[in-house]
Amino acid sequence: MSIVIKLGGKLLSQGEMFNNVIIDIANIIKKSNKKIVLVHGGGPQINQMLEKIGKKPRIVKSASGMESRITDRETVEIAQMVMAGKLNKDLVAKFESLQIKAVGLSGIDGSLIKSKRKNNLRIIDEKTGKKIAFHGDFSGNIEEINSSLIDLLLSNNYLPIIAPIGIGHEFEPLNLDGDRTAGHIASALKAETLFLFTDVPGILINGKIIDKLGKEEIESILPKVEGGMRKKVYAANEALKMGIKSVFIGSGLIENPISSVLDGRSGTELSWKFV
Ligand SMILES: Nc1ncnc2c1ncn2[C@@H]1O[C@H](COP(=O)(O)OP(=O)(O)OP(=O)(O)O)[C@@H](O)[C@H]1O
Ligand SMILES: [Mg+2]
């Protein structure tokens, strides 16, 4: 059985503090026969690079009420450079320094994540609040995960580290949501659990952590959660619908984050076992 772990871009931007989750993962790989697959994000790092080249990041609300990035051709190129280039290889080097054999991939390599370009994004106009369309978007919807490539790496004891860039029908790079990518990969691998680690200790409502969420509660909590967390809850729910038994949302900044969320000492567990 495998475990899929997503390391959020917010977490990766916390410098040395995010080492806790890296050390935890490395120890699990060394001490158990668990097969781990890593997926990472990169939102803040993409924004930083866009700003460096004098381009303002455009994060809007999609018609479905979800926070979305407007991804024109230049933005997808930056996303690819930042996530599949810099962040992915930094993570690989980090695991290699801990004697873990790691291989970094994007969804383009071996057509690992076949996706369909959205092209027309239905968004809410910031000024008027009306629904409008943005044409020429390079974000994608995931269609197929080539899990045989991941299996090949896992069966040879490599840790696959995956950047959420998909390959489109015209072989173009497409920006993907990291949480949803992790969910689709978990589903394709029939993983037992999915961990979504970020920089906050779980789903917060009125400043309090929600420790458990069942099937019915998830839908009702969605509108009460904002920004990146709303997307994460949506992705977690999607993963449950695809057959994952438990999704944990937690902070990768605390000590031993994996056992801490598994034991219920921190984080939010989303599962249909809670009904
Ligand atoms: N109700 C909430 N509970 C917890 N976090 C919330 C809530 N509402 C908004 N957030 C925000 O959601 C953020 C986490 O999602 P975000 O997408 O920003 O990070 P990430 O997934 O780690 O990064 P990336 O998307 O780059 O991978 C938190 O840092 C927090 O500021
Ligand atoms: Mg996010």
Q: What is the pLDDT of residue 189?
A: 98
Secondary structure string (H, E, C) spanning 159-177: EEEEECEEECCCCCEEECC
Cα(149) to centroid(ligand 1), Å: 30
Residue the block writes with tokens 């990291």: 178
Q: What is the pLDDT of residue 1?
A: 83
Q: What are the strands, taking DSSP E only, across 8-58?
A: 35-40
Q: What is the pLDDT of residue 126?
A: 83
* Intervals of the chain under pLDDT 50: none
Cα(156) to centroid(ligand 2), Å: 30
Q: What is the pLDDT of residue 124?
A: 93
Q: What is the pLDDT of residue 16?
A: 87
Q: What is the pLDDT of residue 252?
A: 97
Distances (CA, A) of 165 to 63, 133, 196: 23, 23, 18
Return the number of other C-beta atoms located less than 10 Å from residue 30's C-beta.
10
Q: What is the pLDDT of residue 94?
A: 97
Q: Residue 196 corresponds to which amino acid?
A: L
* Domain 2-54+73-113+141-274 class, CATH top level: alpha beta
Q: What is the pLDDT of residue 273?
A: 95
Q: What is the pLDDT of residue 86?
A: 98
Q: What is the pLDDT of residue 17?
A: 86
Q: What is the pLDDT of residue 183?
A: 98
Question: What is the atom index within ligand 1 of the atom nearest the CA of 42?
Answer: 26
For the record, the structure tokens of 92 come out as: 């690989």
What is the spatial distance between Cα 5 and Cα 238, in angstroms, rounded to a whole number?
16
Q: Where are the domains of the chain?
A: 2-54+73-113+141-274
Nearest protein Cα to ligand 1, atom 19: 10
- Give, as residue ranges, everything with CB less than 5 Å from ion ligand 2: 228
Q: Are 38 and 109 in contact (CB under 8 A)?
A: no
Question: What is the atom index within ligand 1 of the atom nearest the CA of 40?
Answer: 27
Residues having CB within 6 Å of any atom of ligand 1: 8-11, 41-44, 178, 198-200, 203-204, 225-229, 232
Distances (CA, A) of 214 to 38, 157, 247, 274: 25, 35, 11, 4
Nearest protein Cα to ligand 1, atom 18: 228
